[in-house]
Structures are given as structure tokens and as C-alpha cells.
Amino acid sequence: MSAILECRDLTKSFGNKSALAGVNLTIERGQIVGLLGPNGSGKTTFIKLANDLLSPTKGEIRIDGKKPGIETKRIVSYLPEKTYLIEWMKVHQMITFFTDFYEDFKADKAHEMMARLGINPNDRLKTLSKGTREKVQLILVMSREADLYLLDEPIGGVDPAAREYILDTILHNYNENATIVISTHLIADIEKILDHVIFINAGQVVLSSPVETIRDEQGKSVDTLFREVFRC
Amino acid sequence: MLSKLLKYEMKATARIFLPLFAVVLLSATMNRLITIFAPKGWEVPAVISMVLYVTILVGMFVVTAVMMIQRFYKNLLSEEGYLMFTLPVKPWMHIISKLLLAMMWALVSIAVAIGSVVIIASAQIFKPEVVSQIGQVVSQIYAYEGAWLFTAEFVLLVLVGGIAKILMVYASIAVGHLVNNHKILASLGAYIGLSTISQILFTFMGLLPGMAGIKDRYTGGNLSNPMGTVRFSSADNLAAILPSVHGFLWYGVLFSALLTVGYFIITNMILGKKLNLE
């Protein structure tokens, strides 16, 4: 079985500004990966390329051995940093929408999680607060049984209490062959759930290493190492 | 998957259009009732309700146009685009689903407008002598050989022409989306640019060898005075120009079909390869 995500010389430029410059990377199946880097380092560009929302300027990215397209969209569950929910719909209509388009979506699971967070399925999305919308979005994304989850800043906009619950949700809602990539700069909060970290800066991968190696060989936490690598 | 996209496009638009159509028809009915029940000389309410009706009717067409733009822009190229473009669906399906629904609502809007006029003028229209006269005119027209062909050509031209116009708007928005700043201004510029190019193509295509025959019969070979050879002074002349009218209608259909293909390719390429959501 091929690696879940692979890129070779992956480059994306906007005009003459390069957002990713020749990234080579392999992400194996069955782990939780932290994609860590300061603002503007290329995290979102990388995730958008994996979702076929951008096309590479040079090089290639493959998911499950295939170029991003319909086939990969079926197995990738993506949480963008934006709230992309359709505002005029009610929460339960949004659940039906996901059921209609994704074969791997589990509506029961989504309803159950909504109930646990006290989100009323009959509420219109337009009337919900930004934080609640982000929770709805995360629940929808995690209610799929995908092979690869790409979560762009999943905990940025919610309060610390909900953050706990969300990380818990992430941890308990994927099977062991699935891979989760979490992009964030809030490292301390997610460090304990990560198996592998990728440091990215100015469009280049600075480090790709299992968390165990960092702890054992360097005797540091990921947070400490991050602060050292990205010292301003 | 296309049927699912159509279903959701229908849901998203019907919730706006259905109440709107109801308001138009209700306003027309109000007008009708006022003319029935208002006492003689009591004209102010009738005038007010007429002005209101016309305003609502114009509003309906404005909303139809705005919805066409807004559904494409907001659902595909604003934040909702993150959802739509990560569905396991090809970009062309998004374009087709938006296009079919926009076309459908435009046609229904026209039907509702005609229906509302019929309601207001029902007292005049549904008199036996008027009905029989209308019947006579229609049967006279369709007694004429080729009338059905004209009808078919005309309907085809309206449909293909309408589709080409909608796709031109989509292509303009897509081109405007390529620019990083001032996307709306860029879309407007793209629209003007595409219209100009289409006009030039329209003239040039008429100059092609195969086309010249069709077009010359209509224009008399004189582009600056296209109607110069047409005189409706006698039935003979009318019969003489009919073949050219057929020719011109087909020219229009063919030209619109070519534009449709061109605009579709532009839009599809940008959504597929040059997408750059904010």
C-alpha cells in the first residue's frame, strides 16, 4: 500500500511570491501528524493543494497514489480555516447534505455529537455564533470515515473547554489506518496527541520527525523545539 | 452526483423565487380586484396598486439577474466554495447545475410576468369575441407553411441565446476571479471585454465563405444598413425575405452555440485549474 500522502518538489507561487518551494514529503498511514509553522509559512497552501483547491506550479502531490481529484476527494475529509457552511441551511439539512455527497459519512454519529455539544439540529446556521459554527463544521468533518483528515487550524477559534472536547473528538473518531494532519501554531495544546511532526517555514520543510525521536534523542518537548527552531 | 447538485441548487433558489412569484401574482390579483370593486371615479388606489405592481414586476427580473450572479459567485467562489469544490464532483457539474437552474428561473419569471398581465387584463381578454379573434389570428399564422419552423427556430434561438448570455456572465466572473484584488471590478471589465470580442466575432463569422450566403440574404450584403433591402410593402416582398429570416435565425443559433462552447470552456478551465479561493 502506498503512503497516504506524498509530494515531490511541490512548488506553488502566486505571481513572483512563492508560498511553497520544492517540498518533498511522505506521510505514512495510521498516525496523527502536526503540520507546524508560523503564520504565512505555507501550511494552508499545502493543505489546499492536497484538496485540489489549488494547482501546483511545479512538482506533484499524490494522495493514496493519485493526483488530487474526484477519487481523492472521496477519501479526504477537509476542515478549512474558513467557515464554509451554507448559511441558509439548518444544522440537520447540512447533515443531510453531507450524507448525500459522501458515502463514508455517518449521520448518526454527527447527530449524536451535536447533541452532546448542545447544538440544536433545527437551528439555522446563520443564527449560530462563529465558535458554534466551527464546532458544527468539525463534527461534520469528523463524522466521515475518511482515510485522510486534513484539519486546518481546527482549534484556533474555540474556547479552551471546547478545545479539549474537540481534540477528544478527533482522537476517538478515526480508525487506526486513517491519518490525521493537523495544521496549527498552537502546539502546546495538541502536542500530547501527535505521533509525528512536520515543521514548515517560508515554504520549506525544516523538519519531519516522529515525536518520540524528538523527546528521546533531544530530550525536548515539541513546543520547546519549535520555539528554538522558529526563534524570532 | 449531478442530480444531487441540481436538487440543492433547486432548494437554494426556490426559497427565494417561489415567494417572489407569489407576490407578483398576488399584486396582479389585487389590481384586478380593485378594478372590479372600486366605485366609479375612485382612481387613486387603482393607480397606486398599478405602480406597485409594475415595481414588483421589474423587481422580479432584477432579482432573477442578481440571483444568477450571486449563486455562481457566492456558492462557488466565496467561502462556500471550500465546501462545494471539495465535494467528489467535477467542476463542469457545478457549472451545469447553476446554468440549468438560472435558465429555468429566467423562463419561469417570463411565464409569471405573462401570467400576471393576463390576470390584470382578464376582463378584456376573456370576452368571447376577443378569444375567437385571438384564435383566428393564431390559426391564420399557423395556416401559413413554415410557421411552425419559425416558432421552433425562434424558441431555439431564445434558449441557446439565453444559455450563451448566462455563460458569458459566469465566464466574466471566473476571469475576474483570477485577479488578486478588485475581483468585482475585474469581472465587470471581463464582461465588457467578452461582449466586445463576441461582437467582433459575430461580424467576422458573417464574412466566412459558408456564412456569407446566409447573412447576405438578410443584409443584402450591406452590413451598415442591414434592413436596407427589407420592405414590408407587399405580400410578395414578405414572401421574398422569408428565406433570409430563416437564415438569420439559424445564424443566430449557430453563433450562440459557438459562444456557449467557448464560454463554457473558459469557465471550466478556470474553475478546474486556476481556482484561487480567498
The domain that contains A69 carries what CATH number? 3.40.50.300
* pLDDT at residue B222, rounded to an integer: 47
Comparing alpha-carbon positions, the chain A residue that sits nearest to B11 is: A89
- Position B224 scores a pLDDT of 46
Q: How far apart are CA A32 and CA A179, in angstroms?
A: 6
Pairing of strands A58-63, A5-14: antiparallel
**ipTM tops the 0.90 cut:** yes
Q: What is the pLDDT of residue B204?
A: 83
pLDDT band at residue A8 under the 50/70/90 scheme: very high
| A186 close to A152: Cβ distance less than 8 angstroms | no
Residues of A at the B interface, defined by Cβ within 8 angstroms: 14-15, 48, 51-55, 70-71, 73-74, 76, 78, 80, 82-86, 88, 97, 100-102
Q: Which amino acid is at A165?
A: Y
pLDDT at B243: 75
**Residue in A26, A29, A27, A23 with CA at minimum distance from that of residue A9:** A23
Collect contacts of A169-174 with beta carbons under 8 A, ≥24 apart: A169/A113, A169/A138, A169/A139, A169/A142, A170/A32, A170/A138, A170/A142, A171/A32, A173/A109, A173/A142, A173/A143, A174/A142, A174/A145, A174/A146, A174/A149
Query: Can you give the pLDDT at residue A192?
Result: 84
Which of chain A's residues have a Cβ under 8 Å away from the Cβ of B1? 101
d(CA A38, CA A232): 10
In which residue are the cell numbers 400576471 written?
Answer: B116
Q: With CB atoms and an 8 Å threshold, state whether A55 touches B277.
A: no
Distance CA A115, CA A101 (A): 23
- Nearest by CB to residue B87, choosing from A73, A80, A82, is A73
User: pLDDT grade, residue A14 (50/70/90)?
Assistant: confident
Q: What is the pLDDT of residue A172?
A: 79
Using the Cα atoms of residue B180, residue B185, residue B191 and residue B197 in order, give the sign of their dihedral.
negative
Mean pLDDT of A113-124: 91
Query: Which ranges in A78-192 belong to alpha helices (H)?
Result: 91-101, 107-116, 130-142, 160-172, 187-190
Q: Which residues of B touch A102 (CB under 8 A)?
A: 87-88
Binned at pLDDT 50, 70 and 90, residue A91 comes out as very high
Question: Does pLDDT of A80 surpass 90?
Answer: yes
> Which of A118, A104, A125, A122 lies closest to A173, judged by CA?
A104
User: pLDDT at position A21, please?
Assistant: 92
Whether the predicted pLDDT of A167 surpasses 60: yes
Mean pLDDT by 10 residues, chain B (278 residues): 95 96 95 82 83 94 95 94 95 96 96 94 83 87 81 92 95 92 90 92 76 52 46 54 79 91 96 88
Edge-first strand listing for the sheet containing A148-152:
A76-79, A148-152, A179-184, A32-36, A196-201, A204-210
Mean pLDDT of A109-125: 92
Confidence grade of residue A156 (pLDDT, cut at 50, 70, 90): confident
Distance CA A77, CA B268 (A): 24
Could you say which of B1, B82, B273 has the minimum Cβ distance to residue A84?
A: B82
Q: Is the dihedral of CA B203, B206, B209, B213 positive or negative?
A: negative
Q: Which residue among B8, B90, B275 places its CB closest to the CB of A97?
A: B8
* Spatial separation of the C-alpha atoms in residues A190 and A203, rounded to whole Å: 22
The pLDDT value recorded for residue B232 is 45
Q: Are A169 and A143 in contact (CB under 8 A)?
A: no
Sheet with A5-14: strands ordered across: A17-27, A5-14, A58-63
The pLDDT assigned to A219 comes to 82
Of A183-187, A207-211, B56-60, B209-213, the least confident? B209-213
pLDDT of the residue at B238: 60
Q: What is the DSSP code (8-state) at residue B39?
A: P
Q: What CA–CA distance (Å, rounded) separates A106 from A122?
A: 18
CA distances from A135 to A104, A158, A159, A176, B278 (A): 20, 8, 11, 23, 21
Q: What whole-number distance in Å separates Cα of residue B15 and Cα of residue B63?
A: 13
Which of A4, A24, A33, A46 minimizes the C-alpha distance to A187? A33
**Number of domains into which chain A is organized:** 1
Print the domain residue range for A127. Answer: 5-229
3-class DSSP state for residue A158? coil
Say whether residue B4 is in contact with chain A using an 8 A CB cutoff: yes
Say whether pLDDT at A44 is over 50: yes
DSSP strand pairing (A5-14 vs A17-27): antiparallel
Residue A209's DSSP bridge partners are A197
Checking if the pLDDT of A171 tops 90, the result is no
Percent of chain B whose predicted confidence (pLDDT) is above 70: 88
Amino acid at A31: Q
